[in-house]
Structure 1
Amino acid sequence: MLIIRDICKSYAGPSGPVPVLKAVSLSLSAGRSLALTGDSGSGKSTLLHLAAALDQFDSGEITVGNVALADLDDDGRAGLRRSQVSLVFQQFNLIPALSVEQNISLHARLAGRADEAWIGVLTDRLGLTEFRMRYPEQLSGGQQQRVAIARALALRPKLLLADEPTGNLDEASSASVMELMLDLVRETEAALLLVTHSHDIAARLDQRAHLSGGQIIGCST
Protein backbone atom coordinates (compact mmCIF):
# COMPACT_ATOMS: atom_id res chain seq x y z
CA MET A 1 0.00 0.00 0.00
CA LEU A 2 2.90 2.37 0.76
CA ILE A 3 6.38 2.06 -0.73
CA ILE A 4 9.07 4.59 0.17
CA ARG A 5 12.30 3.93 -1.68
CA ASP A 6 15.62 5.82 -1.35
CA ILE A 7 13.96 9.11 -0.44
CA CYS A 8 16.21 12.13 -0.05
CA LYS A 9 14.98 15.54 1.07
CA SER A 10 16.82 18.77 1.84
CA TYR A 11 15.76 22.26 2.81
CA ALA A 12 17.50 25.49 1.94
CA GLY A 13 19.79 26.85 4.67
CA PRO A 14 21.93 29.99 4.98
CA SER A 15 25.00 28.09 3.80
CA GLY A 16 23.27 25.83 1.29
CA PRO A 17 20.99 22.75 1.31
CA VAL A 18 20.46 21.06 4.68
CA PRO A 19 19.80 17.30 4.30
CA VAL A 20 16.82 16.05 6.31
CA LEU A 21 16.24 12.58 4.83
CA LYS A 22 19.01 10.44 3.34
CA ALA A 23 18.00 7.46 1.19
CA VAL A 24 15.11 6.39 3.45
CA SER A 25 13.21 3.23 2.47
CA LEU A 26 10.09 1.69 4.04
CA SER A 27 7.18 -0.45 2.91
CA LEU A 28 3.77 -1.02 4.46
CA SER A 29 1.01 -3.44 3.43
CA ALA A 30 -2.76 -2.99 3.68
CA GLY A 31 -4.09 -3.72 7.15
CA ARG A 32 -0.67 -3.27 8.75
CA SER A 33 0.66 -0.53 11.02
CA LEU A 34 4.15 0.94 11.36
CA ALA A 35 5.45 3.18 14.14
CA LEU A 36 8.11 5.69 13.15
CA THR A 37 10.23 6.82 16.09
CA GLY A 38 13.22 9.11 16.46
CA ASP A 39 14.50 12.23 18.18
CA SER A 40 13.15 15.69 17.37
CA GLY A 41 14.60 16.87 14.08
CA SER A 42 15.31 13.36 12.82
CA GLY A 43 12.95 13.77 9.86
CA LYS A 44 9.86 11.87 11.06
CA SER A 45 7.27 14.55 10.30
CA THR A 46 9.01 15.41 7.04
CA LEU A 47 8.68 11.80 5.89
CA LEU A 48 5.01 11.76 6.87
CA HIS A 49 4.35 14.96 4.91
CA LEU A 50 6.09 13.50 1.86
CA ALA A 51 3.95 10.35 2.06
CA ALA A 52 0.86 12.59 2.25
CA ALA A 53 1.97 14.47 -0.88
CA LEU A 54 2.06 17.68 1.17
CA ASP A 55 5.67 18.29 0.14
CA GLN A 56 7.94 17.06 -2.64
CA PHE A 57 11.11 15.00 -2.27
CA ASP A 58 14.42 15.63 -4.01
CA SER A 59 14.99 12.07 -5.23
CA GLY A 60 13.70 8.56 -4.72
CA GLU A 61 10.21 7.14 -5.11
CA ILE A 62 6.99 7.06 -3.07
CA THR A 63 4.04 4.96 -4.21
CA VAL A 64 0.61 4.90 -2.57
CA GLY A 65 -1.36 1.96 -3.90
CA ASN A 66 -0.46 2.01 -7.57
CA VAL A 67 0.10 5.78 -7.71
CA ALA A 68 3.63 7.19 -7.97
CA LEU A 69 3.61 10.57 -6.22
CA ALA A 70 6.33 11.94 -8.51
CA ASP A 71 3.90 11.63 -11.45
CA LEU A 72 1.25 13.86 -9.85
CA ASP A 73 0.75 17.61 -10.29
CA ASP A 74 -0.80 19.80 -7.57
CA ASP A 75 -4.34 18.77 -8.49
CA GLY A 76 -3.34 15.13 -8.53
CA ARG A 77 -1.75 15.33 -5.09
CA ALA A 78 -4.85 17.07 -3.70
CA GLY A 79 -7.04 14.42 -5.30
CA LEU A 80 -4.98 11.64 -3.71
CA ARG A 81 -5.44 13.17 -0.25
CA ARG A 82 -9.12 13.64 -0.91
CA SER A 83 -9.73 10.05 -2.03
CA GLN A 84 -7.11 7.68 -0.60
CA VAL A 85 -5.08 9.29 2.19
CA SER A 86 -6.27 10.60 5.56
CA LEU A 87 -4.25 12.42 8.20
CA VAL A 88 -4.53 12.74 11.98
CA PHE A 89 -2.46 15.39 13.75
CA GLN A 90 -1.72 16.18 17.38
CA GLN A 91 -3.49 19.56 17.03
CA PHE A 92 -6.85 17.94 16.01
CA ASN A 93 -7.51 20.62 13.32
CA LEU A 94 -11.28 20.51 13.78
CA ILE A 95 -13.43 23.27 12.28
CA PRO A 96 -14.90 25.31 15.17
CA ALA A 97 -18.06 26.35 13.29
CA LEU A 98 -19.03 22.74 12.51
CA SER A 99 -20.65 20.26 14.87
CA VAL A 100 -19.03 16.95 15.77
CA GLU A 101 -21.23 15.19 13.23
CA GLN A 102 -20.34 17.70 10.50
CA ASN A 103 -16.62 17.53 11.30
CA ILE A 104 -16.63 13.74 11.09
CA SER A 105 -18.38 13.63 7.70
CA LEU A 106 -16.52 16.58 6.11
CA HIS A 107 -13.63 14.75 4.44
CA ALA A 108 -15.85 11.96 3.10
CA ARG A 109 -18.42 14.45 1.79
CA LEU A 110 -15.75 16.45 -0.04
CA ALA A 111 -14.70 13.19 -1.73
CA GLY A 112 -18.31 12.34 -2.56
CA ARG A 113 -18.04 9.16 -0.48
CA ALA A 114 -20.03 9.88 2.66
CA ASP A 115 -21.51 6.66 4.07
CA GLU A 116 -23.97 7.54 6.82
CA ALA A 117 -24.07 3.99 8.18
CA TRP A 118 -20.28 3.82 8.46
CA ILE A 119 -20.13 7.29 10.03
CA GLY A 120 -22.69 6.06 12.57
CA VAL A 121 -20.52 3.04 13.36
CA LEU A 122 -17.47 5.25 13.89
CA THR A 123 -19.41 7.69 16.05
CA ASP A 124 -20.65 4.84 18.21
CA ARG A 125 -17.33 2.96 18.44
CA LEU A 126 -15.47 6.13 19.40
CA GLY A 127 -18.01 7.06 22.08
CA LEU A 128 -19.21 10.22 20.36
CA THR A 129 -22.90 9.52 19.78
CA GLU A 130 -24.13 11.73 22.61
CA PHE A 131 -21.85 14.58 21.46
CA ARG A 132 -22.87 14.62 17.78
CA MET A 133 -24.47 18.06 17.91
CA ARG A 134 -21.82 19.68 20.09
CA TYR A 135 -19.01 21.90 18.80
CA PRO A 136 -15.28 21.30 19.27
CA GLU A 137 -14.94 23.92 22.02
CA GLN A 138 -17.49 21.95 24.07
CA LEU A 139 -15.36 18.80 24.05
CA SER A 140 -12.38 17.61 26.07
CA GLY A 141 -9.02 17.03 24.38
CA GLY A 142 -9.61 13.27 24.25
CA GLN A 143 -13.05 13.72 22.71
CA GLN A 144 -11.67 16.11 20.08
CA GLN A 145 -8.99 13.59 19.14
CA ARG A 146 -11.65 10.90 18.75
CA VAL A 147 -13.52 13.23 16.38
CA ALA A 148 -10.32 13.75 14.37
CA ILE A 149 -9.79 9.98 14.11
CA ALA A 150 -13.43 9.41 13.12
CA ARG A 151 -13.13 12.10 10.43
CA ALA A 152 -9.99 10.46 9.04
CA LEU A 153 -11.54 6.99 8.95
CA ALA A 154 -14.92 8.14 7.59
CA LEU A 155 -13.30 8.23 4.16
CA ARG A 156 -12.23 4.57 4.48
CA PRO A 157 -8.73 5.61 3.36
CA LYS A 158 -6.19 3.23 1.90
CA LEU A 159 -3.48 4.99 3.89
CA LEU A 160 -3.81 6.65 7.30
CA LEU A 161 -0.99 8.94 8.42
CA ALA A 162 -0.83 10.05 12.05
CA ASP A 163 1.64 12.51 13.60
CA GLU A 164 1.77 12.14 17.42
CA PRO A 165 -2.02 11.64 17.45
CA THR A 166 -2.24 11.20 21.23
CA GLY A 167 0.50 13.64 22.23
CA ASN A 168 -1.94 15.97 23.99
CA LEU A 169 -3.72 13.24 25.94
CA ASP A 170 -3.10 11.72 29.35
CA GLU A 171 -1.83 8.15 29.55
CA ALA A 172 -5.21 6.50 30.07
CA SER A 173 -6.92 8.45 27.27
CA SER A 174 -3.94 7.85 24.98
CA ALA A 175 -4.10 4.08 25.47
CA SER A 176 -7.86 3.99 24.89
CA VAL A 177 -7.74 6.13 21.74
CA MET A 178 -4.84 4.14 20.29
CA GLU A 179 -6.58 0.81 20.89
CA LEU A 180 -9.71 2.01 19.12
CA MET A 181 -7.74 3.48 16.21
CA LEU A 182 -5.76 0.27 15.69
CA ASP A 183 -8.93 -1.84 15.84
CA LEU A 184 -10.61 0.34 13.22
CA VAL A 185 -7.53 0.35 10.98
CA ARG A 186 -7.44 -3.44 11.02
CA GLU A 187 -11.17 -3.66 10.30
CA THR A 188 -10.94 -1.32 7.30
CA GLU A 189 -7.70 -2.85 5.94
CA ALA A 190 -6.04 0.57 5.93
CA ALA A 191 -2.27 0.92 6.19
CA LEU A 192 -1.21 3.09 9.14
CA LEU A 193 2.04 5.03 9.38
CA LEU A 194 2.28 6.66 12.79
CA VAL A 195 4.92 9.04 14.14
CA THR A 196 5.41 8.78 17.89
CA HIS A 197 7.91 9.48 20.66
CA SER A 198 6.27 6.84 22.86
CA HIS A 199 7.88 3.40 22.99
CA ASP A 200 4.70 2.05 24.60
CA ILE A 201 2.60 3.19 21.63
CA ALA A 202 5.21 1.98 19.14
CA ALA A 203 5.12 -1.47 20.73
CA ARG A 204 1.39 -1.77 19.95
CA LEU A 205 1.96 -1.50 16.18
CA ASP A 206 2.89 -4.31 13.79
CA GLN A 207 6.21 -2.81 12.67
CA ARG A 208 8.66 -0.28 14.04
CA ALA A 209 11.31 1.85 12.35
CA HIS A 210 13.70 4.32 13.97
CA LEU A 211 14.98 7.47 12.24
CA SER A 212 18.23 9.08 13.30
CA GLY A 213 20.07 11.77 11.40
CA GLY A 214 17.68 11.38 8.48
CA GLN A 215 18.34 7.65 8.10
CA ILE A 216 16.58 4.45 9.18
CA ILE A 217 18.88 2.81 11.71
CA GLY A 218 16.56 0.12 12.99
CA CYS A 219 13.48 -1.71 11.74
CA SER A 220 11.57 -4.53 13.44
CA THR A 221 8.29 -6.42 13.35
Structure 2
Amino acid sequence: MLLEIDDVTKTYAGASRPVLRGVSLTLAAGQTLALTGESGSGKSTLLHLAGALDRFDGGEIHLSGQPLSGLDDAGRAALRRSHVALVFQQFNLIPSLSVAQNLAFHARLAGRPDRDWIARLTERLGLAELTLRYPEQLSGGQQQRVAIGRALAARPALLLADEPTGNLDETASTAVMDLMLELVRESGTALFLVTHSQAIARRLDRHLHLAGGRVV
Protein backbone atom coordinates (compact mmCIF):
# COMPACT_ATOMS: atom_id res chain seq x y z
CA MET A 1 0.00 0.00 0.00
CA LEU A 2 1.47 3.35 -1.01
CA LEU A 3 -0.36 5.54 1.53
CA GLU A 4 -1.81 4.36 4.85
CA ILE A 5 -3.55 6.83 7.16
CA ASP A 6 -4.46 5.15 10.44
CA ASP A 7 -6.65 6.78 13.10
CA VAL A 8 -5.10 10.22 12.53
CA THR A 9 -6.13 13.17 14.67
CA LYS A 10 -5.31 16.86 14.31
CA THR A 11 -6.23 19.92 16.37
CA TYR A 12 -4.97 23.40 15.59
CA ALA A 13 -3.71 25.61 18.40
CA GLY A 14 -6.53 27.69 19.84
CA ALA A 15 -9.26 25.59 18.21
CA SER A 16 -12.14 24.43 20.39
CA ARG A 17 -12.36 21.01 18.73
CA PRO A 18 -10.23 18.77 16.51
CA VAL A 19 -10.45 19.14 12.75
CA LEU A 20 -9.66 15.43 12.27
CA ARG A 21 -10.99 12.82 14.68
CA GLY A 22 -9.49 9.45 13.89
CA VAL A 23 -9.33 9.41 10.10
CA SER A 24 -8.26 6.21 8.37
CA LEU A 25 -7.86 5.46 4.67
CA THR A 26 -5.52 3.70 2.27
CA LEU A 27 -4.36 4.39 -1.27
CA ALA A 28 -2.65 1.79 -3.44
CA ALA A 29 0.09 2.53 -5.95
CA GLY A 30 -1.41 3.82 -9.20
CA GLN A 31 -4.91 4.27 -7.70
CA THR A 32 -6.93 7.50 -7.81
CA LEU A 33 -8.92 8.69 -4.80
CA ALA A 34 -11.22 11.70 -4.42
CA LEU A 35 -12.03 13.25 -1.06
CA THR A 36 -15.04 15.54 -0.78
CA GLY A 37 -16.49 17.47 2.16
CA GLU A 38 -17.89 20.80 3.19
CA SER A 39 -15.67 23.86 3.41
CA GLY A 40 -13.70 23.66 6.66
CA SER A 41 -14.21 19.93 7.04
CA GLY A 42 -10.48 19.23 7.08
CA LYS A 43 -9.95 18.01 3.51
CA SER A 44 -6.92 20.19 2.83
CA THR A 45 -5.54 19.46 6.31
CA LEU A 46 -5.64 15.73 5.61
CA LEU A 47 -4.00 16.22 2.22
CA HIS A 48 -1.18 18.24 3.79
CA LEU A 49 -0.65 15.58 6.44
CA ALA A 50 -0.49 12.87 3.77
CA GLY A 51 2.23 14.82 1.97
CA ALA A 52 4.30 15.38 5.12
CA LEU A 53 3.63 19.13 4.91
CA ASP A 54 2.29 19.29 8.46
CA ARG A 55 2.38 17.17 11.61
CA PHE A 56 -0.52 15.23 13.07
CA ASP A 57 -1.31 14.80 16.77
CA GLY A 58 -2.22 11.14 16.96
CA GLY A 59 -2.37 7.99 14.86
CA GLU A 60 0.12 7.24 12.10
CA ILE A 61 0.69 7.82 8.42
CA HIS A 62 2.87 5.55 6.31
CA LEU A 63 4.06 6.75 2.92
CA SER A 64 5.85 4.14 0.80
CA GLY A 65 6.25 2.13 4.00
CA GLN A 66 7.87 4.99 5.91
CA PRO A 67 6.14 6.14 9.14
CA LEU A 68 5.94 9.92 9.07
CA SER A 69 5.77 10.43 12.82
CA GLY A 70 9.43 9.53 13.29
CA LEU A 71 10.84 11.88 10.65
CA ASP A 72 12.45 15.21 11.42
CA ASP A 73 11.98 18.19 9.10
CA ALA A 74 14.90 17.19 6.87
CA GLY A 75 13.61 13.64 6.57
CA ARG A 76 10.13 14.84 5.69
CA ALA A 77 11.51 17.19 3.04
CA ALA A 78 13.59 14.38 1.54
CA LEU A 79 10.57 12.06 1.43
CA ARG A 80 8.50 14.75 -0.30
CA ARG A 81 11.20 15.36 -2.92
CA SER A 82 11.54 11.68 -3.74
CA HIS A 83 7.92 10.48 -3.54
CA VAL A 84 5.38 13.32 -3.62
CA ALA A 85 4.25 16.07 -5.98
CA LEU A 86 1.59 18.68 -5.37
CA VAL A 87 -0.88 20.68 -7.44
CA PHE A 88 -2.93 23.39 -5.79
CA GLN A 89 -5.77 25.70 -6.77
CA GLN A 90 -3.21 28.50 -6.92
CA PHE A 91 -0.81 27.58 -9.69
CA ASN A 92 2.35 28.40 -7.68
CA LEU A 93 4.59 28.64 -10.72
CA ILE A 94 7.95 30.38 -10.32
CA PRO A 95 7.44 33.72 -12.09
CA SER A 96 11.10 34.19 -13.00
CA LEU A 97 11.27 30.85 -14.82
CA SER A 98 9.98 30.09 -18.30
CA VAL A 99 7.43 27.36 -18.96
CA ALA A 100 10.23 24.95 -19.93
CA GLN A 101 12.18 25.77 -16.77
CA ASN A 102 9.11 25.42 -14.55
CA LEU A 103 8.32 22.04 -16.11
CA ALA A 104 11.81 20.71 -15.36
CA PHE A 105 12.12 22.24 -11.87
CA HIS A 106 10.84 19.42 -9.64
CA ALA A 107 12.44 16.68 -11.70
CA ARG A 108 15.82 18.33 -11.14
CA LEU A 109 15.16 18.68 -7.41
CA ALA A 110 14.25 14.99 -7.20
CA GLY A 111 17.38 14.03 -9.13
CA ARG A 112 15.31 12.44 -11.91
CA PRO A 113 15.54 14.72 -14.95
CA ASP A 114 14.17 12.90 -17.99
CA ARG A 115 14.19 15.01 -21.15
CA ASP A 116 12.14 12.55 -23.17
CA TRP A 117 9.39 12.33 -20.55
CA ILE A 118 9.30 16.11 -20.06
CA ALA A 119 9.11 16.60 -23.82
CA ARG A 120 6.23 14.13 -23.94
CA LEU A 121 4.43 15.93 -21.11
CA THR A 122 4.98 19.26 -22.85
CA GLU A 123 3.40 17.94 -26.03
CA ARG A 124 0.51 16.16 -24.33
CA LEU A 125 -0.34 19.24 -22.26
CA GLY A 126 -0.44 21.46 -25.34
CA LEU A 127 2.51 23.55 -24.17
CA ALA A 128 4.97 22.98 -27.00
CA GLU A 129 4.43 26.46 -28.44
CA LEU A 130 4.62 28.13 -25.03
CA THR A 131 7.91 26.87 -23.59
CA LEU A 132 9.68 30.24 -23.79
CA ARG A 133 6.84 32.19 -22.19
CA TYR A 134 6.64 33.15 -18.53
CA PRO A 135 3.70 32.45 -16.19
CA GLU A 136 2.34 36.00 -16.41
CA GLN A 137 1.97 35.51 -20.17
CA LEU A 138 -0.30 32.47 -19.78
CA SER A 139 -4.01 31.98 -19.18
CA GLY A 140 -5.21 30.29 -16.00
CA GLY A 141 -5.79 26.99 -17.80
CA GLN A 142 -2.33 27.11 -19.35
CA GLN A 143 -0.72 27.84 -15.99
CA GLN A 144 -2.47 24.90 -14.37
CA ARG A 145 -1.33 22.61 -17.19
CA VAL A 146 2.23 23.74 -16.52
CA ALA A 147 1.72 23.04 -12.81
CA ILE A 148 0.49 19.52 -13.58
CA GLY A 149 3.39 18.87 -15.95
CA ARG A 150 5.88 20.13 -13.38
CA ALA A 151 4.36 17.83 -10.73
CA LEU A 152 4.47 14.75 -12.97
CA ALA A 153 7.87 15.42 -14.54
CA ALA A 154 9.69 13.49 -11.80
CA ARG A 155 7.20 10.57 -12.03
CA PRO A 156 6.25 10.80 -8.33
CA ALA A 157 4.68 7.87 -6.55
CA LEU A 158 1.94 10.14 -5.20
CA LEU A 159 0.31 13.26 -6.62
CA LEU A 160 -1.65 15.38 -4.15
CA ALA A 161 -4.12 17.77 -5.76
CA ASP A 162 -6.10 20.34 -3.76
CA GLU A 163 -9.00 21.74 -5.81
CA PRO A 164 -6.75 21.83 -8.89
CA THR A 165 -9.45 23.26 -11.16
CA GLY A 166 -11.04 25.60 -8.61
CA ASN A 167 -9.77 28.74 -10.36
CA LEU A 168 -10.83 27.64 -13.86
CA ASP A 169 -14.04 27.97 -15.82
CA GLU A 170 -16.01 24.83 -16.64
CA THR A 171 -14.48 24.28 -20.09
CA ALA A 172 -10.90 24.73 -18.88
CA SER A 173 -11.63 22.64 -15.78
CA THR A 174 -12.83 19.68 -17.85
CA ALA A 175 -9.85 19.88 -20.19
CA VAL A 176 -7.35 20.08 -17.33
CA MET A 177 -8.95 17.15 -15.46
CA ASP A 178 -8.99 15.05 -18.64
CA LEU A 179 -5.27 15.63 -19.12
CA MET A 180 -4.36 15.08 -15.48
CA LEU A 181 -6.20 11.76 -15.24
CA GLU A 182 -4.73 10.53 -18.53
CA LEU A 183 -1.18 11.43 -17.51
CA VAL A 184 -1.52 10.08 -13.97
CA ARG A 185 -2.59 6.71 -15.33
CA GLU A 186 0.10 6.75 -18.01
CA SER A 187 2.86 7.46 -15.47
CA GLY A 188 1.56 5.01 -12.84
CA THR A 189 1.25 7.79 -10.26
CA ALA A 190 -1.33 7.52 -7.49
CA LEU A 191 -3.64 10.52 -7.16
CA PHE A 192 -5.19 11.83 -3.93
CA LEU A 193 -7.49 14.68 -4.95
CA VAL A 194 -9.53 17.04 -2.79
CA THR A 195 -12.55 18.52 -4.56
CA HIS A 196 -15.96 20.01 -3.85
CA SER A 197 -17.22 18.68 -7.20
CA GLN A 198 -19.18 15.43 -7.14
CA ALA A 199 -18.80 15.20 -10.93
CA ILE A 200 -15.00 15.25 -10.65
CA ALA A 201 -15.04 12.82 -7.70
CA ARG A 202 -17.04 10.27 -9.71
CA ARG A 203 -14.29 10.13 -12.33
CA LEU A 204 -11.75 8.68 -9.90
CA ASP A 205 -11.35 5.06 -8.81
CA ARG A 206 -12.62 5.74 -5.29
CA HIS A 207 -14.57 8.50 -3.58
CA LEU A 208 -14.62 9.19 0.17
CA HIS A 209 -16.40 11.96 2.06
CA LEU A 210 -15.11 13.81 5.13
CA ALA A 211 -17.62 15.10 7.70
CA GLY A 212 -17.34 15.83 11.39
CA GLY A 213 -13.63 15.11 11.29
CA ARG A 214 -14.18 11.54 10.08
CA VAL A 215 -14.38 9.68 6.78
CA VAL A 216 -17.97 8.62 6.16
Give the TM-score normalised by the residue count of structure 1.
Answer: 0.95
| Structure 2 equivalent of residue 2 of structure 1 | 3
| Long gaps (5+) in structure 2 | none
| TM superposition outliers: structure 1 runs of 4+ over 3 Å | none
> Is the 1:12–1:18 Cα contact (8 Å) retained in structure 2?
no
| Structure 2 equivalent of residue 176 of structure 1 | 175
Q: State how far apart, in whole Å, the 1-side matches of 2:11 and 2:47 are.
A: 15
Q: State how far apart, in whole Å, the 2-side matches of 1:65 and 1:52 are.
A: 11
| Structure 2 equivalent of residue 140 of structure 1 | 139
SS at match of 1:55: coil
Q: What pairs up with 1:58-73 in 2 under 5 angstroms?
A: 58-73=57-72
Equivalent AA in structure 1 for residue 114 of structure 2: D
Q: State how far apart, in whole Å, the 2-side matches of 1:190 and 1:3 are.
A: 16
Q: State how far apart, in whole Å, the 1-side matches of 2:215 and 2:68 are.
A: 21
Q: State how far apart, in whole Å, the 2-side matches of 1:133 and 1:67 are.
A: 39
How many angstroms does 1:18 deviate by? Answer: 2.9
Between Structure 1 and Structure 2, how many residues are aligned? Answer: 215
Q: State how far apart, in whole Å, the 2-side matches of 1:150 and 1:40 are.
A: 28
> Is the 1:104–1:151 Cα contact (8 Å) retained in structure 2?
yes
- Alpha-carbon deviations, 1:39-66, whole Å to 9, x = none? 0110000000001111100011111111
Q: What pairs up with 1:24-103 in 2 under 5 angstroms?
A: 24-103=23-102
- Alpha-carbon deviations, 1:100-156, whole Å to 9, x = none? 000011011112111011000000000000000000000000000000000000010
How many angstroms does 1:17 deviate by? Answer: 5.2
| Structure 1 equivalent of residue 128 of structure 2 | 129
Equivalent AA in structure 2 for residue 162 of structure 1: A
Q: State how far apart, in whole Å, the 1-side matches of 2:30 and 2:151 are.
A: 15
Q: State how far apart, in whole Å, the 1-side matches of 2:214 and 2:123 are.
A: 40
| Structure 1 equivalent of residue 17 of structure 2 | 18
Equivalent AA in structure 1 for residue 7 of structure 2: D
Q: State how far apart, in whole Å, the 2-side matches of 1:190 and 1:110 are.
A: 18
Q: State how far apart, in whole Å, the 1-side matches of 2:88 and 2:197 are.
A: 15
Q: State how far apart, in whole Å, the 2-side matches of 1:68 and 1:155 are.
A: 22
- Alpha-carbon deviations, 1:74-104, whole Å to 9, x = none? 0010001111100000000001100000001
SS at match of 1:76: helix
How many angstroms does 1:71 deviate by? Answer: 1.9
Equivalent AA in structure 1 for residue 9 of structure 2: C
Does 2:215 match 1:213? Answer: no
Would you tell me which structure has more strand in proportion to its own residues? 1
Q: State how far apart, in whole Å, the 2-side matches of 1:126 and 1:64 are.
A: 28
Equivalent AA in structure 1 for residue 74 of structure 2: D
Identity across the alignment (%): 68
Does 2:184 match 1:185? Answer: yes
Q: State how far apart, in whole Å, the 1-side matches of 2:205 and 2:110 are.
A: 29
SS at match of 2:200: helix
> Is the 1:42–1:214 Cα contact (8 Å) retained in structure 2?
yes
Equivalent AA in structure 1 for residue 93 of structure 2: L
Q: CA RMSD in A?
A: 0.9
SS at match of 1:104: helix
